[in-house]
Amino acid sequence: MLDWPPRLPLPTVIVPHSVSAGPTWLATDRLHPAPSARELDWLNEQGSLTRRLTALGAGRFAVEPLCEGWQLLRDDECAALGAPSGSEGWAREVYLHGAGQPWVFARSVATRVALEREPFALAALGNRSLGHLLFSDPAFAREPIEACRYPAELLPVAVREAGLWGRRSLFRRAGLGVLVAEVFLPALWRADAARR
């Protein structure tokens, strides 16, 4: 029997998986569905998260560096930094631990061009909190906070989960922009609920 029309093999659709594109960030009052009041309270925190986590953990706060180095920044990061797509920058990824548990995953980035122009000790922080540096220097101005459901594939494997709330904001000092993104992990919500 003639096989006509020929049965073509199912097309293999290769969906390019680009982590370089990154998440879509929105102002916290434009998120849909809207976060709960408790989630918004954390997402909109204007003060130092380091300070708030330290208070929630009754003083038990620690920064655990996960990875740091030069890399090509994601498109959403370049856009927020006002840098050309594919710019190189320093990336610092850490857990912020409260009461001995990872409560927040944070990724902070700045372009190489900006760091060469306006030196800043981002690469030399180790387990000291970046928040102390940013909030103790009045020359830093913070831009509005944006949030998203942070893509699971951008999280460390140990805490990888879909749908976690992330927020970011840009801290500016002269020609330097430090973009700080923080993702709230389930242990933080449990600790916060237990405190209320």
Q: Which two tokens stand for residue 125?
A: 């922080």
Q: Which two tokens stand for residue 69?
A: 């180095």
Determine whether 32 is exposed, middle or buried from the number of CB atoms within 10 Å of its CB (0-12, 13-18, 19+): exposed
Q: Do the Cβ atoms of 118 and 173 come closer than 8 Å? A: yes
Q: Quick one: which segment of 1-9, 12-20, 66-74, 88-96 binds ligand ISJ (CB under 6 A)?
A: 88-96
Asked whether position 87 contacts ligand ISJ by CB under 6 A, the answer is no
Q: Does 130 belong to an annotated binding site?
A: yes
Binding mask 120-159 for ligand ISJ (x = CB under 6 A): -----x---xxx--x-------------------------
No. of H helices and E strands in the chain? 6, 8
Q: Which two tokens stand for residue 166?
A: 């992330």
Asked whether position 180 contacts ligand ISJ by CB under 6 A, the answer is yes
Asked whether position 98 contacts ligand ISJ by CB under 6 A, the answer is no
Single out the residue of 77, 108, 140, 170 in contact with ligand ISJ (rule: CB under 6 A). Answer: 108
**Which one-letter DSSP state was computed for residue 189?**
H
Q: Quick one: which segment of 31-39, 42-50, 83-91, 155-163 binds ligand ISJ (CB under 6 A)?
A: 42-50
Q: Does 182 belong to an annotated binding site?
A: yes
> Taking CB under 6 A as the criterion, which residues in 8-27 touch ligand ISJ?
none
DSSP H or E run through 78: helix 75-81
d(CA 77, CA 22): 8
Binding residues for substrate: 92, 130, 182
Q: Which residues contribute to the site for ligand ISJ (CB under 6 A)?
A: 48-50, 63, 92, 94, 96, 106, 108, 125, 129-131, 134, 180, 182
